[in-house]
Amino acid sequence: MLAAGIAPYKLSRWMRHASLVTTDTVYSHLYPSDYSAEIAQFEAFASASRAAYV
């Protein structure tokens, strides 16, 4: 369902997990651990944040 684009928070509530951490812990092994897109997003954010303070 996460791969289908359902928001993790909504999925967590629908499955009646106590928290989003539970959902992530139980199902994260089903998805590849390629974080390159997220790392690129964070690096762009961090660069923009640093530029604002220079």
For 16-30, write each residue's pLDDT tens digit.
999 989 988 888 777
The residue extents of the domains of the chain are: 8-52
Burial classification of residue 48, based on how many CB atoms lie within 10 Å of its CB (0-12 exposed, 13-18 middle, 19 or more buried): exposed
pLDDT at 10 over 80: yes
Residues 6+ apart with CB under 8 A from 1: 11
Please state the pTM of the whole predicted model: 0.48
pLDDT at 1 over 70: no
At residue 11, the pLDDT reads 87
Residues 6+ apart with CB under 8 A from 22: 12
At residue 13, the pLDDT reads 92
Q: Per residue in 34-52, pLDDT tens?
A: 778 888 898 999 888 766 6
